[in-house]
Structure 1
Amino acid sequence: MTITYSCIANGRAVLAELALTGGSYQEAAAKVLSLVLFTARPETTVQMGSYVYHTLLIDGITYLCATDNALDMGAPSAFLREVSDTFTRNPLMSQEHFCPSHAVAADFQQVLGQYMDKEFQKTTEIPRRIWWKYYKKIVIITMTILLSIIIILLSTNVIPL
């Protein structure tokens, strides 16, 4: 699972956004933002096309990310929490100072990119660990079979000592 798009919105107005891949995220994100405003639920997950949109609504600010797979719900949730914590801790991120044309929006795009990259590294690390476990099992099984064959051949005097 990869986070491919993220944005922060105040109502329907997108304050900062970043897409790692090409795609029509803005149109789908606008629909999801409308849905979030209508339902006013703190967390929402919506499937649109080949992407799953996850949202976190805190104090009128919506944190949204799009993933390419619906299997893992933990990574998007953790990503949105980290982004919201960073956003609310920074005094320049207050609603009075933060607008899409402001330079802070561009700075926060970098923050989004860092968190998206961090989540991507975590998700690619897990399959690598699983592959190494599988590889170790294959090596151990192969060595056990070879050792068994050698012992059998030695005990039947097929291979002389």
Structure 2
Amino acid sequence: MTITYSCIANGQVILAELALTGGSYQDAVSSVLKLVLLKPEKKTTARIGSYVYHTLLADGITYLCATDNLMDVTLPSAFLDEVSRTCSENPLMFQESFPPSNAIVADFQQVLGRCMMKYNQNQGEFMISDLKSQVTDVRNSMSQNVGKMLKREEKLNILIDRTDNLQVATKAFQKTTTKASKKMWWKNYKIIIIISSIFIIIIIILLSTNVISV
């Protein structure tokens, strides 16, 4: 990926611009700047023709660059962040009226040229850094997911233990209830036998004494 064009604009007024390749960027840049004015978001991306235009809106100033790769947004974003940070550190940035003096325009162009050269030459390092960042994010996400799984497993184990304890308590209660029921049944059975025996004895006595006759 190559940053082929960059500029700094106040509204639709271009304060400084620099192109590394031939071709006309003015119509596309004008369209993108209009889009930024209509929808003032911090960062926007638009594909026009064979180039992708990235913008950064900071303190009312639009920083823009064009690249020849649709997929890569990390390097252009880093480029625009550095350009905006460097320009905002210029003490004359917010003191002069716009359009700025030739000295400020020259400073802006130097910043653009320096950053374009830096990011175009070191894009491999930025890709590696981005990959490392993505790997770190994936690893952190996996660690969080593993932690959540372990917490779920711990809660599940606690629930299983409670279920097992409840089942044991239920079985113990059932055994106790069964024993109590059998004991009560035998007790009632003995009482019935005793009462029946006493009743039979009384009947025999009454019959033997002719108190009752058959």
Q: TM-score range by the shorter chain?
A: 0.7 to 0.9
What residue ranges of structure 1 are gaps of 5+ in the alignment? 128-161
With structure 2 as the length reference, what TM-score do the two structures score? 0.56
Alignment-derived partner of residue 18 in structure 1: 18
Relative to its length, the structure with more helix (as a share) is 2
> Secondary structure of 1:92's partner?
coil
Structure 1's 42 and 126: CA in aligned 2 closer, same or farther, altered over 3 A? closer
Q: Which contiguous aligned blocks of 4+ residues in structure 1 show a shift greater than 3 angstroms?
A: 124-127
Instruction: Measure the CA separation in 2 of the matches of 1:93 and 1:105.
Output: 10
| 8 Å Cα contact 1:16-1:108 kept in structure 2 | yes
Counterpart residue type for residue 32 of structure 1: V
CA RMSD of aligned residues (A): 1.7
Shifted more, 118-127 versus 43-52: the winner is 118-127
Instruction: Measure the CA separation in 2 of the matches of 1:126 and 1:94.
Output: 31
Higher RCO structure, 1 or 2 (CA under 8 Å, sep 6+): 1
Counterpart residue type for residue 56 of structure 2: L
What residue ranges of structure 2 are gaps of 5+ in the alignment? 128-214
Instruction: Measure the CA separation in 1 of the matches of 2:65 and 2:106.
Output: 17
1:17-61, Cα deviation, whole Å (9 max, x unpaired): 000111111111011000011001110000000000000001210
Alignment-derived partner of residue 121 in structure 1: 121
- Quick check: which has more Rg, 1 or 2? 2
| 8 Å Cα contact 1:7-1:16 kept in structure 2 | yes
* Percent of residue pairs identical: 65
Alignment-derived partner of residue 42 in structure 1: 42
With structure 1 as the length reference, what TM-score do the two structures score? 0.73
- Total equivalences in the alignment: 127
